[in-house]
Amino acid sequence: MRCLLLAAGWLSVALGVVGIFLPVLPTTPFLLLAAACFARSSPRFHAWLVHHPKLGPWIRDYLSGEGIPLKGKVYAIGLMWASIGLSCYLVPLFWARVFMLTSAVLVSAYILKQKTLQRPD
């Protein structure tokens, strides 16, 4: 089980890093999944991820309950709706469009419900 969790953790880290550059992949959920996998399989990798200078803040801000920066909310929702809009245009299946739009509405509601992180200027 430990090996499976380590593999899932590293796969999630890789997908999270790719998600930084590709708007279709969400970064934070993959990094949170990686942190959860590492917490159960490797305290060393968990500490590395949480204290990583670039990836760590995404996890720490969320887990501490401080929230999501406004810029991150706008970026995430905007890119998600652009991707879903393009997908709905390209996919002719009605049920697929309904599924994509429902998912986008629910994810948008979840993101908007999260506390907005106030960064000192």
The pLDDT tens digits for 79-118 are 789 888 998 999 999 999 999 999 889 888 888 888 887 7
Determine the Cα–Cα distance for residues 66 and 115; give it in Å rounded to an integer.
7
| Angle CA 37–112–79, to nearest 5 | 80
| Angle CA 32–35–37, to nearest 5 | 110
pTM above 0.75, yes or no: no
What tokens appear for 89 in the block?
A: 């245009």
pLDDT at 10: 95
Average pLDDT over residues 42-48: 94
- The number of helix segments (H) and strand segments (E) in the chain equals 6, 2
> 3-state SS string over 88-120?
HHHCCCHHHHHHHHHHHHHHHHHHHHCCEECCC
Average pLDDT over residues 33-58: 91
List all residues 6 or more positions away from 17 whose beta carbon is below 8 Å from its beta carbon. 27, 55
